[in-house]
Each structure stands twice: as C-alpha cells, then as structure tokens.
Amino acid sequence: MISSSNSRAHRDAYGSQINRDHLPILVYGIPWLTIILASLVPMVPFIALAPILPPLGYLFLLTWRLVRPGLLPLWAGLPLGAFDDLFSGQPFGSGIFLFSVTLLSIEAIEIRFPWRNFLLDWFTASLALSVYLYACFLFSGAQLTSIQLRLILPQLLLSIVLFPIIARIVALLDRFRLMRIRKVR
C-alpha cells in the first residue's frame, strides 16, 4: 500500500515544490543588495589609520560572479562601481572602470576554462584582488612611495584569505535567494 502523504516528499532545500515558486525580488535583488551594503562599509564607525579592511564591495561582486556565473548582468559594474565610488574615497570613476573590467575579463577567462573548481575560482579571485588593489592605489591620487606598496600587502593577504569565507556567506545568501516563498495560483 502506498503510504499516506509524507510531509517531506515534495520538499527540497529551497522549500516546498508544490504550489510555491521563487520570489523574483529575492532571486535578482539579493546579489545587488549585498554588494551595495558591502560598499557602505566605509560609513561604519571604524576609523582606520591605514588601509586595513578588504574592499568588501568588490569582494562581494567578485564572489557573486564566481559562485553564480550569469546572475549579475555584464553591465552591473557600471551602477555598482559608481555606488562604491561614492563612499570608498577613490576618485569617482575608479570603481566603475575596475568593476566593469573585472566582469568583462572574468567572462573572457570563463570561455577558455569552462570546467573550474573552487581552487581555480580562489586563484582567479586572488589575481583579480591584487590587480584591483594596486590599480586602486595607482588611481587614488596618493603619493607613490615604497611604503605604500608594502602597505597594501596585509590588506591583500586579508582579502585573499577572506574569499572562502565570503564564498560561504554568498552560498548561504544564495539558498535564501532561491527560497520558494511565492504562492502559485
């Protein structure tokens, strides 16, 4: 005899599969929202005497792009970079340029290496982060001295080490993003 309804029969990690669907606001909004919030980190009352914090806005953009390819449109660098520029202290345009270049170049890399794993993603992110941090430093209008070049190293190291953690956070947010909340009638 077929057993009567098991409550878990039509469920998966994203919730019930019957009569429920993804919410478009969450599906497309969560990546944008998290990157925007991460770009607002300079307005957190933490007064740093040296560049210490990793560029969280960029880090989240990179992670969303690598964890969920194709979710962010290619042109996302333009608005997100502009928003990041408003608070980061960089001259306006530096974020727009670097965010857009990053998305385009990752797209180009992906066509050549379609089969990737997490380590390769981490390597790509490290490469992108080091280029980004040194380019930011070059664009910032600060004096170019050897102290400055060494000053970025701890920040770079922290950013690279932080990537797997951010990737886990993004994976968590991704599960939240794809929750089946909307009722289908």
Q: Which is nearer to another protein, 2 or 44 (CB)?
A: 44
End-to-end CA distance of the chain: 31
Smallest gap from residue 1 Cβ to another protein (A): 28
Smallest Cα–Cα separation from 163: which of 90, 76, 75, 60? 60
Instruction: Between 4 and 43, name the residue whose CB sits nearer to another protein.
Output: 43
Cα distances from 37 to residues 42, 84, 112, 132, 150, in angstroms, run: 10, 10, 32, 19, 29
Binding site for another protein (CB under 8 A): 12, 14, 22, 27, 40-56, 68-71, 73-75, 77-78, 81, 86-101, 103-104, 107, 110-111, 114, 136-137, 139-143, 145, 147-148, 151-152, 155, 174, 178
Min. distance of Cβ 155 from another protein in angstroms? 7
The DSSP H or E segment spanning 139 is: helix 118-139
Q: For residue 149, what are its two tokens?
A: 């070049």
The residue (of 4 and 61) whose beta carbon lies closer to another protein is: 61
Q: Nearest Cα to 104, choosing from 141, 41, 138, 61?
A: 61
Question: Please, which residue, 1 or 102, has the CB nearer to another protein?
Answer: 102
Q: How far is the CB of 31 from another protein (least distance, A)?
A: 11
